[in-house]
Amino acid sequence: MPDRYLGQNIGKYRVVRLLGVGAFSWVYEAVDRDLEIAVALKILRPEFAGAADAEERFRREATLAARLRHRHIVTVRDVGRSDGAVFVAMDLLPLSLGRRLAVTAHLPETECIRLGLHIAAALAMAHAGGVIHRDIKPDNILLTPEGDAVVADFGLAQAVAGDRAADRSQRVLGTPHYFSPEQARGLPLDGRSDLYSLGVTLFRAATGRLPFEGEDWFDVATQHVESAPPSPRTLVPELSPDFEALILRLLAKDPEARFATALQAADALAALPAAPGGAANGATPHLGALTVEAFPPIRLRTQRRRRLALALGAAAAAVVVWVTTARLRTNADAANDGVSLIAPSDMLAATPSDSALRSDLRLPLRSAAESLAALLRPDNATPPPDTLPLRVPVLTPPPTRRTTRLELTAPDSAQLYVDNQLVGRGRWSGERPAAARTVLRAVLDDAPLSCDAAARDSIVRLAAGDQLAIHLVVRPCIELRYTIGPRDARFALRPIDGGPTVEVRADSAQSLSVPAGRYAVRASANRCYTFVDTITVARQPEGAPMTGRIRLDCN
């Protein structure tokens, strides 16, 4: 029974209360007795302990999540075994999206978009690390006290570039109501499968019901493959057409019809009017790039050519001045607000909310054309045969540089990735297309997965014409062994170059793994003189651990 661990000590963790029960594990609130903080402790159910497959999957969840350091991915603090119990310790976030949806009909569109942005950002990080989650659903989306989404439970996750035995065996894993069509058919998966599950999750959050329901899992899976989802707006009419279109695109049967990447999905969510910081919340709408179209051919009398030249010169000068002013204003707005420019053809497909703005942009051109036509219109006379055709030349703004010059640096042994593409080692520079979000990653390939400092991720905006130089700090972890007396002493390592302080009891200091660098060392105990020193933690010959000994002088 799950209550068998209540009040027990599992390693350094004291189990306080039961949080949830899963098919393979039980989740508890526990207290880390070393750090004196609350954690979520997931323990493999006893009937699976000792089973090689179950333990492998359980540990894989921990190692995969530990690799993916991101504010919207749950942080794994520890993994181990104690007295036959296999456990994973994580940050404690007791509320999930599933629990919230169980007590409310549906969420407002703005909140759905906000949570969707967080989940898409987490998936972008996971996919950049070569990991497909394969079980995105409300129960696996945790919520922080601030209402941010945090993706958890990588138990079904699979490395894209790793062993595909699970795909080759055609096993169908996951939760049927959130299956992608290709997942239901047992086909090989990529990141777009997670985007489909994100679409189901957003459908559920926005409407209060699932797109497909049935008598059993086979019936539901068949609908994922064959049936079109209902329109979300028929269930919740106040949803915007743009948000509905985005959900239905995520739910496309063909992966090619969905967004190509989670980053693209995040960009589309961020562009919605109801998105945080979107047009409905005071942000500047996207403005169209301006192009003056050629006027139709005009045949003119010979005696009026001089009049034409003067009129044409004045009109062209006015148009050039207007276009230049508009371009300067548009570029200034884009620079200040992060607004990207769209092609003129996109202006023709403006949404109703944009129509007034787009009409204002086109009005000066229309007025200039009408004024010029009125000025040159013949006085109800038929043009003589000796008139000449004339076309007003097309005035096009100077080409805008649409790329960013990017330079990445890291330690020589670090691999560098840009949007999940390996670009070099140690140093790389080159041109990248302008993008609202680009994932940069540096990772030491010889470091253990438990070493947080061995990988560094950053999401940046690449604006057209910018030149960015970014240094990604990654450091190997070194094993540190200290013998400290008395046993109840507290041992603290404070990084001098910045970073979190590590504080443990003396018996836990016998083996620590810390990032290389300079540290201020402090050991203290009741009725003892405090020991203070400074050390430099560095790689030892042949990977040997650094060792030290501290004996406090006590009364």
Q: Give the DSSP letter of residue 539.
A: P
β-strands 435-444, 455-462: how paired?
antiparallel
Burial 233-264 (b: 16+ CB within 10 A, else e): beebeebbebbbebbbebbbbebeebbebbbb
Entry field: residues in the chain = 555
Please confirm, yes or no, whether 242 is among the known catalytic residues. no
The helix or strand, by DSSP H or E, that contains position 358, with its residue range, turns out to be helix 352-376
Q: Are 210 and 200 in contact (CB under 8 A)?
A: yes
- Residue 29's closest CA among 47, 6, 11, 63? 6
Q: Which residue has the tokens 């456990």?
A: 87
474: tokens are: 């990654």
CA torsion sign, 490 to 496 to 501 to 504?
Answer: negative
Beta strands in 397-545 (DSSP E): 403-409, 414-418, 421-425, 427-433, 435-444, 455-462, 467-471, 477-485, 490-495, 502-505, 512-515, 517-524, 531-537
Q: Which of 53, 78, 135, 333 is catalytic?
A: 135
Using the structure block, give the residue that is written with the tokens 């070569």: 130
Grouping H, G, I as helix, E, B as strand and the rest as coil, residue 1 is: coil
> Could you tell me which residues are beta bridge partners of residue 271?
none
Dist. CA 212–CA 204, nearest whole Å:
10
C-beta of residue 38 within 8 angstroms of C-beta of residue 30: yes
Q: CB–CB of 406/430 below 8 Å?
A: yes
Report the C-alpha dihedral over residues 127, 133, 139, 145, rounded to 10 degrees. -30
Contact 201, 97 (CB under 8 A): yes
Cis peptide before 486 (omega within 30 of 0): yes
In whole angstroms, what is the distance from residue 54 CA to residue 48 CA? Answer: 6
Task: Name the pairing type of β-strands 13-21 and 9-10.
Answer: antiparallel
Q: Judge contact between 49 and 84, C-beta under 8 A.
A: yes
**DSSP element (H, E) containing 242:** helix 241-250
Q: Distances from the Cα of 235 to the Cαs of 210, 215, 244, in angstroms? A: 11, 21, 11
Question: To 10 degrees, what angle do helices 352-376 and 305-337 make?
Answer: 160
Residues 275, 336: Cα–Cα separation, whole Å: 19
Look at residue 248 and give its three-state secondary structure: helix
- The residues carrying an active-site annotation are 135
